[in-house]
Structure 1
Amino acid sequence: MRTISVITAVHNGGHHYIGDAYESLREQKLPDDWQWQWCVQEDGTTGIPANSLPDDPRIMFGTGLRARIAVTRTHALTRATGDLIRTLDADDVLLPGALERDIETLERVPWCVSACVDLHEDGSTAPGPYDPAGGPVEPGRFYREVMEDRLSVQATTFAAHRRLVLALGGWQALSGAETVALLLAAEAVAPGEFVAEPSILYRKHPHQTTASDHYWEPAEAATRIAAIMQRTSILRELGWKWR
């Protein structure tokens, strides 16, 4: 059996929807020779989020010192055994066929991202307003979009070959936008695709990290983007390519 490892970071207090995430993962239909593994890492050492998880041998739960989501994801990556990696936020829901489409796409390219549907508190949904066309991503497209502050995709849908993620150092150690950082790094060294069929319900609620005013404090946000663009620019200049 081949494995796709799903990476989820969670913290005590941010685990209230993780049961929904599990149910959506449990209901995924994979090709006959594939299975999933869920690497859940707490940003902290309380162990409390684990109480919301079922007794399923496919779940690998770990804890660690508080360090925010980028470091937490990278710690979870150490337990991943799959050929492929898929990110999933603890408050989001995978849509039917999401992992199967990732697997099929990653047979052709080293990484992909996909469309998503916003899930609002009142239960209403709305598609992403700026989704690109499905298929191969034009080289440098997402880099240019971030430069212009108009990224057209939710980078939390990122999936890739595990060896590529490891070669890039996992998720860049930032206070946020770590999935954007990994997406741009992957784009700099390897071709990718956009999957037009939505893969997640992206839950919008007042307690999510990006809903905090402090998260968008101008100096903080500018520092994150500067760090992302510096690393990506160097990768692009060096010309190293994934084989």
Structure 2
Amino acid sequence: MPTISVISAVHPGARDYLAEAYESLVKQELPDGWDWEWCLQEDGDTGLAERVLPPDERVRIGHGLPARAAVARTMALTRASGTLLRTFDADDVLLPGALDRDIQALGTAAWCTSAALDLLPDGSTVPGPYDPPDGPVEPGRFLAEQCADRLSVLAATFAAHTALVRALGGWPALTGAETIGLLLAAEAVAPGVFIAEPSTLYRKHSTQTTASERYWRAEESATRLDAVLARAEALREAGWQWRL
């Protein structure tokens, strides 16, 4: 059965939202013959996911030394059996049709990303301010936007062929910005598309990793972005292209 592997890192701040994330997966309607699996990796050995989630053979949970989200995502990738994968933050919500639209887009593209809505603590939602047009992404667009500190998409909506992600080495082992790093690496070696219909409610809350002041310390934040930009530039200069 063709499968799309949903990849998530789990940290304690997601505890109150993990069940809702699971329910949004269960409600996904996929093309005939398709199924999903959820590959979660706890950033540590807390046993949080087993305590919160019901038994489901499609949910594949792993544990490991705490090393932040990038390493957890790449560890989860080792359990992915699907030909396609989708990034999903464990405290977010997938909107109806999200995985179906990803699968359809990846029928002709190497990777895709999609619109998202910020989900605020009061339950209201806000659309992204800079969404690109629906359809093929102009080569180099996201790299140029990131260089200008104006990335127009939420990189946590990234979906791709699993083989492409493995060829790129998964998520870069950084303390943050790993979803941006993978997006820019994929853009450097293959064409992609943007899906204008929102796929995700991106939850804003006080316990998310990007809510801490420490996360945004200027020197470390700049170092992370320097690393993802250097990787994308090196791939682009190498001239290697990934093809379906």
* Aligned match of 1:220: 220
Deviations, residues 146-167 of structure 1 (Å, cap 9, x unaligned): 1000000000000000000000
Percent identity of paired positions between Structure 1 and Structure 2: 65
* Aligned match of 2:118: 118
Deviations, residues 134-189 of structure 1 (Å, cap 9, x unaligned): 00000000000010000000000000000000000000000001000000000000
The one-letter amino acid of 1:64's match is G
- The Cα of 1:41 is off from its aligned counterpart by 0.7
Structure 2's unaligned 5+ residue stretches are: none
More off after superposition, 22-31 vs 4-13:
4-13
The one-letter amino acid of 2:195's match is V
Structure 1 residues 16-27: aligned runs within 5 Å: 16-27=16-27
* Aligned match of 1:91: 91
Matched residue SS, 1:33: coil
Q: What is the alpha-carbon distance in structure 2 between the residues aligned to residue 218 and residue 12 of structure 1?
A: 25
* Aligned match of 2:72: 72
Matched residue SS, 2:63: strand
TM-score normalized by the length of structure 2: 0.98
* Aligned match of 1:11: 11
Structure 1's unaligned 5+ residue stretches are: none
- The Cα of 1:96 is off from its aligned counterpart by 0.2
- The Cα of 1:18 is off from its aligned counterpart by 0.6
Deviations, residues 88-141 of structure 1 (Å, cap 9, x unaligned): 101100000000000000001000000001100001111111101100000000
The one-letter amino acid of 1:24's match is S
The one-letter amino acid of 2:29's match is K
* Aligned match of 1:28: 28
Q: Does the Cα contact within 8 Å between 2:119 and 2:203 map onto a contact in 1? A: yes
Is structure 2 residue 50 aligned with structure 1 residue 50?
A: yes
Q: Does the Cα contact within 8 Å between 1:12 and 1:49 map onto a contact in 2? A: no
TM-align CA RMSD: 0.7
- The Cα of 1:58 is off from its aligned counterpart by 0.3
Q: Does the Cα contact within 8 Å between 1:111 and 1:161 map onto a contact in 2? A: yes
- The Cα of 1:210 is off from its aligned counterpart by 1.0
Matched residue SS, 1:64: coil
- The Cα of 1:15 is off from its aligned counterpart by 2.2
Q: What is the alpha-carbon distance in structure 2 between the residues aligned to residue 203 and residue 11 of structure 1?
A: 14
Q: Does the Cα contact within 8 Å between 2:49 and 2:61 map onto a contact in 1? A: no
Runs of 4+ in 1 over 3 A off after TM superposition: none
Is structure 2 residue 59 aligned with structure 1 residue 59?
A: yes
More off after superposition, 46-55 vs 224-233:
46-55
Q: How many residue pairs end up in the alignment?
A: 243
* Aligned match of 1:108: 108
Q: What is the alpha-carbon distance in structure 2 between the residues aligned to residue 42 and residue 211 of structure 1?
A: 19
- The Cα of 1:237 is off from its aligned counterpart by 0.5
TM-score normalized by the length of structure 1: 0.99
Q: What is the alpha-carbon distance in structure 2 between the residues aligned to residue 116 and residue 46 of structure 1?
A: 30
Structure 1 residues 203-218: aligned runs within 5 Å: 203-218=203-218
Q: Does the Cα contact within 8 Å between 2:13 and 2:207 map onto a contact in 1? A: no
* Aligned match of 1:128: 128
